[in-house]
A = this chain, B = another copy of it.
Amino acid sequence: MNQEQLQELLKSVKKGEISIEEASAKIKHIPYEDLGFAKVDHHRGLRRGFSEVIYCAGKTVEQVSSIFQSLASKGNNVLATRATEDMYIEVKKNYPDAKYYPVPRMIALYQGKQKQVGSILVICAGTSDLPVAEEAAITAEVMGNKVERLYDVGVAGLHRLLLNIKLMEKARVLVVVAGMEGALSSVVGGLVEKPVVAVPTSVGYGANFNGLAALLTMLNSCSPGITVVNIDNGFGAGYAASLINKLGEIKE
């Protein structure tokens, strides 16, 4: 029930077309979405440029294709994560412009023109961290952010990182992706005064315990200003970095 419908109802009350008891009951059962959050939801769609992301793990090729179609039909950008190539082939039949990114296993459809704003710098420690780093980068790009990449700059060869301080200082937000011991986020956090979103990866073996080591490292970082997302959660990092980066655009 939207604003107009409510006013119509009140008019009917005024005109005596509907009894007070009936009106009272109707109002009492207004779905909550008409009173606040629903509008928020609406705003979301407008601001983000896309409605929802498809997490493909555990879904069939047909399910992914049909959800993709439903989302794409609204004219927004569409993003599918953890997608197989089979899924892409199916999606492509309806949306030949959809792109497949094999490293982070994502499908993306760009619709309409889009300004790429601000900049997010995605840094990763080693080449094995690339799938997660790219998941973050592509997510941010689809959400309308300008993204730079600085890959393979693990702390075992510190000079590779130090040579790129300029790049780090230029970005509004940094996403740092690292497995093994995950020390890169602490070093980056100590070099720049920017929000750093750290993503531990499950890359490593033995006492890495599937990413636990990197996760604890990042949570305990001695450099303040670092916040952390779940292990291997490149999507979450790209999403959070986008929300942060967009703050630089708001005119208040």
A interface with B by C-beta (< 8 Å): 3, 6-7, 10-11, 13-14, 16, 20-21, 23-24, 27-28, 30-33, 35-38, 40-41, 43-44, 47-48, 53, 57-59, 125-128, 154-159, 162-163, 165-166, 169, 172-173, 180-183, 186-187, 189-195, 197, 200, 202, 204-233, 235-237, 239-240, 243-245, 247-248, 250, 252
For A202, the chain B residues whose CB sits under 8 A away are: 206
**9 CB-based A-B contacts, threshold 8 Å:** A6-B24, A10-B13, A10-B23, A31-B159, A181-B218, A206-B232, A206-B233, A207-B212, A244-B247
Which of A30, A156, A169, A227 gathers most chain B CB within 10 Å?
A: A227
The A contact surface, by secondary structure, is helix
Q: Which of B33, B219, B245, B248 meets A230, CB within 8 Å?
A: B219
For A239, the chain B residues whose CB sits under 8 A away are: 224-225
Q: In the complex, what distance in Å separates the CA atom of A225 from the CA atom of B204?
A: 16
For A223, the chain B residues whose CB sits under 8 A away are: 155-156
Shortest Cβ distance from A27 into B: residue: B27
Q: Which of B127, B158, B181, B211 meets A217, CB within 8 Å?
A: B181
Q: In the complex, what distance in Å separates the CA atom of A156 from the CA atom of B36?
A: 15
Q: In the complex, what distance in Å separates the CA atom of A230 from the CA atom of B230?
A: 13
Decide if B217 touches A213 in the complex (CB within 8 Å). yes
Q: In the complex, what distance in Å separates the CA atom of A24 from the CA atom of B27?
A: 10
Decide if A189 touches B224 in the complex (CB within 8 Å). no
Decide if A247 touches B172 in the complex (CB within 8 Å). yes
Decide if B166 touches A36 in the complex (CB within 8 Å). yes
For A166, the chain B residues whose CB sits under 8 A away are: 36
If the complex has contacts A32-B163, A193-B44, A206-B232, are A240 and B225 also in contact, measured as CB distance less than 8 A?
yes
For A13, the chain B residues whose CB sits under 8 A away are: 10, 13-14
For A214, the chain B residues whose CB sits under 8 A away are: 220
Decide if B215 touches A159 in the complex (CB within 8 Å). no
